Structure 1
């Protein structure tokens, strides 16, 4: 299960219409990783988590979003295959 606190905080801010003043690099990278996993890892990521990541990244400054995706793709490219990359992202996003 994904770390619920971060997802709930981000989702509640989006739902309330409040802008996130300056999201941290960690938040941006986490949501970018979740977005990538939603596109590339099948049902390892729930549709609701993927949608939350999409909503979050779509509201970011396009340059920040593109930079985060480039960083993530550089990290993912070091994995031996997509399954390993997916497992690494899922492991990083889960509680145990």
Structure 2
């Protein structure tokens, strides 16, 4: 059974975005890009590496490079100590 996005975030998953640069199969000197997003866990990035492995095995365009970023969607909020309070009319 698939987890909801909220359940995944509570279990430590965050949004991983990867930009993959690959060479066109018919025009090897042309580099194109593809953007992929999924919820994944850092630092292992299991789903990202599974997708890269799938790409290498099933897609004709060879990968040139991959850039990715990971952001946890639920994180501890910022807390600050407030000493005084001002009221304006």
**Same fold per TM (> 0.5)?**
no
Higher helix share: 1
Higher strand share: 2
With structure 2 as the length reference, what TM-score do the two structures score?
0.30
Question: What TM-score does the superposition give when structure 1 sets the normalisation length?
Answer: 0.29
- The structure with more radius of gyration: 2
